[in-house]
Structure 1
Amino acid sequence: MAPDPDPVPGLAGLSPSDVAATFCATLVDEWVRAGLTDAVVCPGSRSTPMALALHSHPEVRIHVHHDERAGAFTALGLGLASGRPAIVLTTSGTAAAELHPAVVEAHQSSVPLLALTADRPPELADVAAPQTIDQVHLFGRAVRWYHAPGVPEAAAAGTWRALAGRSLAEARGEGAAARPGPVHLDLAFREPLVGRPAPLPPGRPDGRPWVEVVPVGATVQGTDLDPVVRLARRGLLVAGTEPGERPAATADAALRIASALGWPVLLDARLRGALGGRGRRGSVVVGAADALLRDPATADALRPDVVLHLGAPVASRVVGEWVAASGATEVRVGAHGWTDPSATGAHRVAAPAAALVASMAAVDGAGSLVAPATEAGWADRWAGAEAAAQAAFDEVLAGHDEVTEPGTARAVLAALDEGTTLVVSSSMPVRDLEWYGRPRRGVQVLANRGANGIDGVVSTAVGAALATGAPTACLVGDVALLHDANALLRAAGRGIDLTVVVVDNDGGGIFSFLPQASEPGGATFEALYGTPHGVDLRVLAAAHGLVTVEPAGAAEVGPAVRASLAAGGVRVVRVATDRAANVAVHRELHDAVAAAVRPT
């Protein structure tokens, strides 16, 4: 039987521009049915049919951004904070290539993202047509799914809703990859680019999405983990965030496991705002692990025999190398990806931490996890070391009236009201937060730790603020801010409350901790690593209509952040520091902790 030449009555006689408009409107309608709420649109001509369709739908929030790279990270921030895919739309050519850094970060962090690139039609390829590049598989293996449906044709209208449904499902990790991440649709359009949408191909009844994925419950029952945990004398949890999971969910699972087992739990930076204090049955939340484990005697006294890793690895190299060298039996738990950078893991649980909680409780059959044979006083030793380290931090920082970088990270986290989001940059800010931030509750901490780059940090914070509607702070270094300066374009007009706390040491402060600082050191080090930029960040902020506040001393940092967030809008808090002094204060903090906790 010949195929129906008009599978969707009423479309066959449309002009090509009207078919394109209907195609785009159908995709947008289906995405909204499936839960899409936000789209970042970067101006351009070839993307006109999709831009108009997105702008015309009353349930899509549009965020226009002049810079495609920053716009992509804004969309990433929307997905990172909400768990829902957001769209970033660009025109063709190098504009599409600008999305690559954010796509890579979304891939490695398992953040849902829908990257839409407009493209020229096939007849304009390889003939020197302007703004035309090869966009086929532009992002390589970094996407969960790539599809180029070609120039829209009425004959394919019956497939449009399925295309939209699959693209969103793949981004959410409900497709073949079974892991959230970026999806790339390369959409070719012919001129003329402005058309009128006809009645759309019908969708499912009652506004239901075309594709509904039924999840299969994860289980880890029947594994060999139960005896491993039961026999542990010195058990330890190292809790990072689970890619694709909200930090609060991972924190809740970590606390339940730690409380049931009576094991200490070491936190990465992104759980600093979700987990604090002492849990039930003597579990201990440890925020000062990096400083504690720098002292060889303390590190040896706290050596574990079983380590349960939840989610992504922590930022601290000290913690990671200590665990790898400890000889402990390592269990790595995570639903997405292979997280074993030290290649020392003995067991892998391919499920979220919450599934492990449910499974181990079922094995026990009594509503708790297991009855471990934990060594007497094990948790108490960690609790004492943590208390001593936190007191040492307070004492050292109290002796510095001037602003310090560790003190800034500690003060910013402490200053935030419950319900605030904190986006923290890679490089030194995320380390300072993980090393010195006192664990607390009520703050969602986000960071781009998939690729660990400083790309798009402020744009990510803009996206997070748009997604949550909550006050948002961003702790970032000066180089990272300059790297993403276009995030400030129109930021003041986006209706968000965002305070950017920028640590300005006029260069790459993290490199001062590396051997290159002394060898070769001197002018060569400054030229290649220190890289002073000499930019007055106050002038940069003013160019975008933003107010900058500069705390004169350490005691003013927290109040400045609180006041800025209370005032609303987009503001900058500039914290001026010195790179050499920063190395010295880190050393002072570590020495003080070692003296406070070293076994006698």
Structure 2
Amino acid sequence: MSISVFNRRWAAVLLETLTRHGVQHVCIAPGSRSTSLTLEAAANAKITCHTHFDERGLGHLALGIAKVTGQPVAVIVTSGTAVANLYPALIEASLTGERLVLLTADRPPELIDCGANQAIRQQGIFADHPTQSLSLPRPTPDISAAWLTSILDQALGEQKQGALHINCPFAEPLYGGDASAYADWSETLGDWWQSDKPWLLSDNQRRVRQQFDWLQWRQRRGVVIAARMGAEQGQQLAAWAKQLGWPLLGDVLSSSGQPLPCADLWLNNPKAQEILAQAEIVVQFGASLTGKRMLQWQASCCPKEYWLIDNISGRLDPANHRGRRLVADISEWLELHPAEAHPFWADELNILSARARTHVTNYLEHRFGEAQLACYLGELLPSQGLFWAGNSLIVRLIDALGQLPAGYPVYSNRGASGIDGLFSTAAGVQRAADKPMLAVLGDISALYDLNSLALMKQCTAPVVLVVVNNDGGSIFSLLPTPEAERERFYRMPHGINFEHAAAMFGLSYASPKSWQEVKQAVDAHWQQRGVLLLELQVAPHDGAETLRQLVNDVVNF
């Protein structure tokens, strides 16, 4: 029984060390091998525990919480395939920068590769996707508590983005024993237990520096690209670009208000391309652009200088422009690079984007479907709330046809752009923000993460989940997939509706047949509590065909 007690001591030091680096939330899946970690997380008053029965959804729940809090979030799972289910969330965090600390319980070394139950090779299981990996030894009093907290401090202190994987083997027994045993091992850390500082402090802070020639560049003609960023940053950037007199091309995830709306339509217009070609500098803030035409223009533009600012390291520019890759917090960078007032140099873009927006709203006014939803989405957003954008076709439609308010919080999983874990990440976002939330995603995405609707039952404010059901993966209707095989091997129609899914998880349900019914159902729900699953049943190809039609219309303006 002494082994189980020391396992708890070891886990207590581990969990307490995490709190010294900002970990306040721990997401826990059921498991026996992880008992020591789970019970010590629950016993630590500084930690809020979240649970889910599905490790894949659990990882995405943690990802959503990390998106809102900006702090590292820990995940505890048992050994075996439970660990592998964290892979999708880990990959997304590695691309979008949220910090996850994955605590994977493991069998001790003597049980690996010998046929023992639930024992797999967990060391290195995530390859090079974590920013760091740490394999702890089997807990033993022969190793000092100071060593354990020091090695954890070093790894956590260096974690600026992405996931840290800590593999934690525990030998049996896992339960029982004299709880007072091995107190002297823990007490060697002295008054560290009463403090709030790490045992080992590291200074790894990034320091943002002003570009030496910024005062010259702000006199020139520039273009701003606003990609994925926070709500406050989007609002700051929009004001900064406006003062400079530079056109801002805003992605749906930028929270910039998209001052030149429908850019993903009019960027194909020859006149727009002629105007934008006059830019001497392009400054991109954030990564992961959504729109196809935006990506094409970004790849083909040839300014004298191309700067990309994001707090995530890495090149982040698939077009490999010649210029500067500046790793910095966007707000700090803007403060160090003040704008100077200049008149807007591309007035014709204002006219073109306004014409495009007017054409889109008029065209879709009486055409019920996912394109109409995308166009008028701003009318559904809750006051003082947030928006969750799904992946695949719907986010492209919103990006091209909609216009969201400046400074409105928008969240998504657009790093790897997978359709897994969208309900669960949205649940984490809402839980951490504690605000009303509108979420929009497609039917295949919803089916893929259906059991995470269980997490939605715990939402703390009104939530509307809009599932756009076009009976399959209609994004493939936009791609040059072989027509003869498109339905069977790409779109894969399923013939399923979500009414019974809503009932199964105790959610309210609506299936409106017009925009007026959509608006009424959503507006009414903001005055209530709980979750409304609103299923938008639409024709399979309408969204893709409408987008194609509108791109063709605007290119000829």
Q: With the length of structure 2 as denominator, give the TM-score of the two structures.
A: 0.91
- Relative to structure 1, the CA distance from residue 304 to residue 355 in structure 2 (aligned partners, 3 Å threshold; closer, same or farther) is farther
In structure 2, the residue matched to 1:540 is: 501
Task: Look up the SS of the partner of 1:184 in the other structure.
Answer: strand
User: What letter is aligned with 2:334?
Assistant: V
Distance in 1 between the 2:33 and 2:151 partners? Answer: 21
In structure 2, the residue matched to 1:182 is: 163
Q: Return 498-507 or 289-298, whichever deviates more.
A: 289-298
In structure 1, the residue matched to 2:354 is: 387
Distance in 1 between the 2:472 and 2:250 partners? Answer: 29
> Which digits, 9 at most, give the CA deviation of each residue in 1:163-205, with x for residues without a partner?
443444344x1xxxxxx11110110011111243765444537
Segments of structure 1 that go 5 or more residues without pairing to the other structure are 1-13, 174-179, 278-284, 362-368
Distance in 1 between the 2:542 and 2:257 partners? Answer: 30
User: What letter is aligned with 1:558?
Assistant: K
The answer to whether residue 384 in structure 2 is matched with residue 419 in structure 1 is yes
In structure 2, the residue matched to 1:498 is: 463
Task: Look up the SS of the partner of 1:183 in the other structure.
Answer: strand
The answer to whether residue 139 in structure 2 is matched with residue 165 in structure 1 is no
Distance in 2 between the 1:203 and 1:505 partners? Answer: 60
Superposition deviation, residue 485 in structure 1: 1.2
Aligned-residue CA RMSD in angstroms? 2.3
Superposition deviation, residue 440 in structure 1: 0.6
Which of residues 307, 312, 330 in structure 2 aligns to 1:331? 307
User: What letter is aligned with 1:480?
Assistant: S
Superposition deviation, residue 494 in structure 1: 5.5
Superposition deviation, residue 390 in structure 1: 1.8
Superposition deviation, residue 309 in structure 1: 0.8
- Relative to structure 1, the CA distance from residue 449 to residue 227 in structure 2 (aligned partners, 3 Å threshold; closer, same or farther) is same
- Relative to structure 1, the CA distance from residue 568 to residue 165 in structure 2 (aligned partners, 3 Å threshold; closer, same or farther) is farther
CA contact (8 A) 1:396 1:592 kept: no
Which of residues 207, 210, 218 in structure 1 aligns to 2:207? 218
The answer to whether residue 420 in structure 2 is matched with residue 447 in structure 1 is no
Distance in 1 between the 2:454 and 2:331 partners? Answer: 40
Counterparts of 1:19-168 in structure 2, within 5 Å, are 19-154=6-141, 155-168=143-156
Superposition deviation, residue 465 in structure 1: 1.2
In structure 2, the residue matched to 1:292 is: 266
Counterparts of 1:241-390 in structure 2, within 5 Å, are 241-242=228-229, 247-271=230-254, 274-276=255-257, 285-305=259-279, 306-329=281-304, 330-336=306-312, 337-361=314-338, 369-370=339-340, 378-390=345-357
Identity across matched positions, percent: 30
Distance in 2 between the 1:101 and 1:302 partners? Answer: 38
Task: Look up the SS of the partner of 2:49 in the other structure.
Answer: strand
Task: Look up the SS of the partner of 1:566 in the other structure.
Answer: coil
Task: Look up the SS of the partner of 2:6 in the other structure.
Answer: helix
Task: Look up the SS of the partner of 2:136 in the other structure.
Answer: coil
CA contact (8 A) 1:240 1:313 kept: yes
Distance in 2 between the 1:321 and 1:546 partners? Answer: 41
Superposition deviation, residue 30 in structure 1: 2.9
CA contact (8 A) 2:64 2:426 kept: yes
CA contact (8 A) 2:232 2:407 kept: no
Segments of structure 2 that go 5 or more residues without pairing to the other structure are none
Q: With the length of structure 1 as denominator, give the TM-score of the two structures.
A: 0.85
Distance in 2 between the 1:545 and 1:197 partners? Answer: 44
Distance in 1 between the 2:544 and 2:307 partners? Answer: 35
CA contact (8 A) 1:114 1:167 kept: no
Distance in 1 between the 2:211 and 2:541 partners? Answer: 54
Distance in 2 between the 1:81 and 1:437 partners? Answer: 24
Task: Look up the SS of the partner of 1:158 in the other structure.
Answer: helix
- Relative to structure 1, the CA distance from residue 557 to residue 202 in structure 2 (aligned partners, 3 Å threshold; closer, same or farther) is farther
Task: Look up the SS of the partner of 2:272 in the other structure.
Answer: helix
Superposition deviation, residue 224 in structure 1: 4.2
Superposition deviation, residue 128 in structure 1: 0.5
- Relative to structure 1, the CA distance from residue 33 to residue 185 in structure 2 (aligned partners, 3 Å threshold; closer, same or farther) is same
Superposition deviation, residue 150 in structure 1: 1.4
Distance in 2 between the 1:559 and 1:81 partners? Answer: 29
- Relative to structure 1, the CA distance from residue 323 to residue 507 in structure 2 (aligned partners, 3 Å threshold; closer, same or farther) is same
Superposition deviation, residue 498 in structure 1: 3.0
Distance in 2 between the 1:490 and 1:308 partners? Answer: 39
> Which digits, 9 at most, give the CA deviation of each residue in 1:398-445, with x for residues without a partner?
132x2x212213333332123312121121122122112213135310
Superposition deviation, residue 240 in structure 1: 1.1
Q: Return 454-463 or 252-261, whichever deviates more.
A: 252-261
Superposition deviation, residue 543 in structure 1: 1.6
User: What letter is aligned with 2:285?
Assistant: L
Distance in 1 between the 2:192 and 2:148 partners? Answer: 13
Distance in 1 between the 2:158 and 2:375 partners? Answer: 38
Superposition deviation, residue 217 in structure 1: 5.7
Task: Look up the SS of the partner of 1:258 in the other structure.
Answer: helix
Counterparts of 1:437-476 in structure 2, within 5 Å, are 437-476=402-441
CA contact (8 A) 1:19 1:197 kept: no
> Which digits, 9 at most, give the CA deviation of each residue in 1:118-162, with x for residues without a partner?
100011011000101100111111112111111112232122333
Distance in 1 between the 2:170 and 2:135 partners? Answer: 11
